[in-house]
Amino acid sequence: MPLVRIDLRRNPDPDFARRAGEVVYAAMRATINVPEHDNFQLLTEHDRNHLVYDTQYLGIARTEALVIVQITLNEGRTLEQKKLLYHDIAAGLQRQLGVRPEDVFINLIEVKKENWSFGNGIAQYAP
Amino acid sequence: MPLVRIDLRRNPDPDFARRAGEVVYAAMRATINVPEHDNFQLLTEHDRNHLVYDTQYLGIARTEALVIVQITLNEGRTLEQKKLLYHDIAAGLQRQLGVRPEDVFINLIEVKKENWSFGNGIAQYAP
Amino acid sequence: MPLVRIDLRRNPDPDFARRAGEVVYAAMRATINVPEHDNFQLLTEHDRNHLVYDTQYLGIARTEALVIVQITLNEGRTLEQKKLLYHDIAAGLQRQLGVRPEDVFINLIEVKKENWSFGNGIAQYAP
């Protein structure tokens, strides 16, 4: 159910964005009970003029390697789960792809379970 | 008021995405009381590396023809209305464009009425 | 914390989108207490087939110069603050870039403070 949008600067490796998405999916599986196969992602690479970021907000030194992850998902995850998710995404991106943890920006948008249709025009998660 | 984002793989027909948007607009008009002319959409076509989807989640066989529809709209629609909306979008995409119903993924993000400005810097829907 | 998405038709000026983003950031600073340096934006320029808008909804005459601004931010801004934000974005885009106020469409998505990580895998705003 999560719908993941990942935005980043154009990477010379054509597989980079997709591999970043795999890390995000693995982190969601490990920390917030996302079911196996529940993997839907939109990846966008931008040129310099179309991805704007601050290099120091909250004392964090960001570079043009910034990865912005915005996840729409069902409401109800605890604060503890969210913290684990943030940690695992940043740690995974560092381990798998060499992304500096400072360069991982994450945002969650929470919605109701009835706000999804996974195919066939049916609200599969609705009560 | 709905702001519709539609994401799909690049289609050889340059009108395909726009026509998919017309189906979504018609479904919103028919099922969730979206007013005439309230039609604002952002359509994005992706290559293989930038649209990730699962081919079997919840037992639904998806293909690269997947259409992902994310609609930001005012809160307050009933579950019944949402179910009708999902049905009409999937049925319309099949009828008008030959999209398999399995290949229609929909998500709703609900916001407050005061969260919109339709022009002139005014919150037209605010109380 | 706000994550700003700006979508518009492709502009001949390669700096136009970025400059529009600067106006939005300045308006957020001035009206809704966004901290200095809290500036993260994703800008997308579309061709004619990929940005759909109505030319008359609510009696507002829109053109292809439409600028769509969708801001994800923390919940809790008052209606008065939101009204000021809408006004300042539209006024700033007109003053700085010659955008007609009719051509400024704004939407806010509100989330919890704990729904952000600004880097290092930490929920900097969580309680």
Res. A1 pLDDT band, cuts 50 70 90? confident
pTM over 0.90: yes
**Minimal-distance CA residue of chain C relative to B13:** C49
Taking all residues of chain C, what is their mean pLDDT, rounded to a whole number? 98
> In chain B, which stretches have pLDDT less than 70?
none
Q: How far is CA B95 from CA B15, B23, B69, B85, B91, in A?
A: 16, 10, 17, 15, 6
Cβ atoms of B67 and B104 within 8 Å: the answer is yes
Q: How far is CA B113 from CA B54, B73, B125, C71, C82, in A?
A: 34, 9, 6, 15, 11
| Of C59, C103, C105, residue with least CA distance to B123 | C105
Res. C117 pLDDT band, cuts 50 70 90? very high
Whole-number CA gyration radius for chain B: 15
C89: contact with B, CB 8 A cutoff:
yes
CA dihedral for B50, C8, B123, B71, sign (positive or negative): negative
pLDDT 10s digits, C33-89:
999 999 999 999 999 999 999 999 999 999 999 999 999 999 999 999 999 999 999
Cα–Cα distance measured from residue A72 to residue A2, given in angstroms and rounded to the nearest whole number: 5
Chain B neighbors (3+ CB pairs < 8 Å): A, C
Contacts of A86 in chain C (CB under 8 A): 117, 121-123
Tell me which residues of C are annotated as active site. 2
- Helix H or strand E encompassing C94: helix C79-97
Test A70 with C14 for CB contact under 8 angstroms.
Answer: no
C42, C44, C121 member nearest A91 (Cβ): C121
C4, C18, C121 member nearest A90 (Cβ): C121
Cα–Cα distance measured from residue B81 to residue B58, given in angstroms and rounded to the nearest whole number: 22
Residue C127 has pLDDT above 90, yes or no: no
- As a whole number, mean pLDDT of residues C95-119 equals 98
Which position has the token pair 């196969």?
A37
Cα–Cα distance measured from residue A66 to residue C45, given in angstroms and rounded to the nearest whole number: 20
- As a whole number, mean pLDDT of residues A76-98 equals 98
